[in-house]
Amino acid sequence: MDRFTWSNGLLEMNETMVIQQRGVKLYDGDDKAKLDVGVAMLTTHRLIWRDIKNHECCIAIPLSQIILFEEQAAGIGKSAKIVIHLHAAPANKEPGPYQHSKFSYIKLSFKEHGQIEFYRRLTEEMTRKRWENTPASQPMPAATRSQAGRTRAVGIVGIERKIEEKRKETDKNISEAFEDLSKLMVKAKQMVELSKSIANKIKDKQGDISEDETIRFKSYLLSMGIANPVTRETHGSGTHYHMQLAKQLADMLQAPLEERGGMMALTEVYCLVNRARGLELLSPEDLVNACKMFESMKFPLRLRVFDSGVMVVQLQSHSEEEMIASALDNVTEKGSLTAQEFAKLLGLSVLLSKERLLLAEKMGHICRDDSVEGLRFYPNLF
């Protein structure tokens, strides 16, 4: 069990899930491992195990560490098992649940069955060795060759060596990159410290600092990606960049908004705007911060947050009273409406139609009939 390393269990690029099986308990050699029951996952590159109750507890081992494996039949009161014999852990192995073990094999105990299929898939993956064709981008331990009775044709050795060299080269590039990255981070940290000091002084209102300088400071924070602790009533977290964006958005969204009944969910706006840009995309935060400035910059659009937390951009011309009045008209005309029916009527998304109905309900114009069949609204006759 000392071959395993801690993992976040997320698949790497090029790595795909092959099979997963619940109810698997791990054994360190013949002893039960000090872990609970979990989910065993076989991917093209690794064997991953995650505790089913405690999601944080997740470990993995590369398939290349496996020498051979065999089935162990179930017995009375004993679940079927797969015994897996492993190579020694490489020197540079990352930490895992066990520092060391006297055993060089582990067992997977299948308390909820599934061992037959798991064994079959494991056999397949160990034969195909897909991890060699498409190395997962994490640095793998040095290539281990199976010693258990496999013969290799000459010539493959040359190919193997090339793969190994490429891997070493990639590792070298990555470690050089990491080194440079660490140095860069030290400098970035200095910037963070400086900005904190400035921010504190602004907060304590020490010294003389103009509105303009505050805006400039905010834009520095934006460039570095440092969270802004200073907000002024006038512009919130806005900077000149966001003001420009707000103007662009106001121009760009006018037509689409009118086509969609005056309202669009912010997720939809995000996709629309970024698809149109193609490059130099907006971050979700950029979009939100720009939209927050619509009001103060006197554009005819508003960012609006519903009680459910859904955020929309809506045209000023579509006033609240109008929307509610027309919603009431529609409901009265049809006798009753669900969000889906309303959506079809208006050509809006179901999400936004629901919000409108909820709003009309909040104002007391319509009331709901909530059943398993769905949520239906009626004119409020009370």
Partner 1 sequence: MHRRGVGAGAIAKKQLTEAKYKERGTVLSQDQIVQMSKQLETFKSHLEEFASKHKQEIRKSSQFRVQFQEMCATIGVDPLASGKGFWSEMLGVGDFYYELGVQIIEVCLALKHRTGGLITLNELHHRVLKGRGKYAQDVSQDDLVRAIKKLKVLGNSFEMIPVGGSYLVQSVPAELNMDHTIALQLAEKKGYVTVSEITYNLKWERERACHVLGHLLKEGLAWLDSQAAGEPQYWLPALFSELTSHEITPEETKRMTED
Which parts of 182-211 interact with partner 1 (CB under 8 A)? 182, 184-185, 187-192, 194-195, 197-198, 201-202, 206-209
Q: Which of 1, 41, 84, 323 binds partner 1 (CB under 8 A)?
A: 41
Contact (CB, 8 A) for 206 and 175: no
Q: Which of 224, 251, 258, 369 binds partner 1 (CB under 8 A)?
A: 224
CB of 149 to partner 1, least distance (A): 30
Q: Which of 60, 82, 222, 352 binds partner 1 (CB under 8 A)?
A: 222
Residues numbered 98-137 forming contacts with partner 1, rule: CB under 8 A: 117, 137
Q: Which of 168, 305, 320, 322 binds partner 1 (CB under 8 A)?
A: 305
φ and ψ of 264, to 5 deg = -140, 140
CB of 157 to partner 1, least distance (A): 27
Q: What is the CA radius of gyration of the chain?
A: 30
**Edge-first strand listing for the sheet containing 337-338:** 337-338, 374-379, 366-371
- Looking at the Cβ atoms of 128 and 152, the one nearer to partner 1 is 128
Q: How far, in Å, CA of 284 to CA of 113, rounded?
A: 45
Q: Hunting for tokens 């859904």 — which residue is that? A: 310
Question: Torsion-angle region of residue 374: left (phi > 0), alpha (psi -120 to 50) or beta?
Answer: left
Half-sphere exposure in the Cβ direction for 60 (13 Å, CA): 22
CB of 282 to partner 1, least distance (A): 5
Residues numbered 132-151 forming contacts with partner 1, rule: CB under 8 A: 137-139
CB of 170 to partner 1, least distance (A): 8
- Looking at the Cβ atoms of 208 and 233, the one nearer to partner 1 is 208
Token duo for residue 277: 């840009």
| Residue 310 binds to partner 1 (criterion: CB under 8 A) | yes
Q: Where are the beta strands (DSSP E) in the chain?
A: 5-6, 17-28, 31-32, 38-43, 46-51, 58-62, 66-72, 80-86, 105-110, 263-265, 301-305, 311-315, 337-338, 366-371, 374-379
Q: How far, in Å, CA of 201 to CA of 229, rounded?
A: 11
Residues numbered 11-40 forming contacts with partner 1, rule: CB under 8 A: 11-15, 17, 19-20, 22, 38-39
Which among 2-10, 28-36, 124-132, 144-152 is the span making contact with partner 1, rule CB under 8 A?
A: 2-10
Q: Which of 76, 91, 148, 372 binds partner 1 (CB under 8 A)?
A: 372
- Looking at the Cβ atoms of 83 and 215, the one nearer to partner 1 is 215
**Opening angle at CA 302, ends 309 and 218, nearest 5:** 85
- Looking at the Cβ atoms of 189 and 362, the one nearer to partner 1 is 189
CB of 333 to partner 1, least distance (A): 25
Contact (CB, 8 A) for 5 and 140: no
Residues numbered 229-288 forming contacts with partner 1, rule: CB under 8 A: 241, 265-267, 270-271, 274-275, 279-288
- Looking at the Cβ atoms of 347 and 374, the one nearer to partner 1 is 374
φ and ψ of 347, to 5 deg = 75, 30
CB of 198 to partner 1, least distance (A): 6
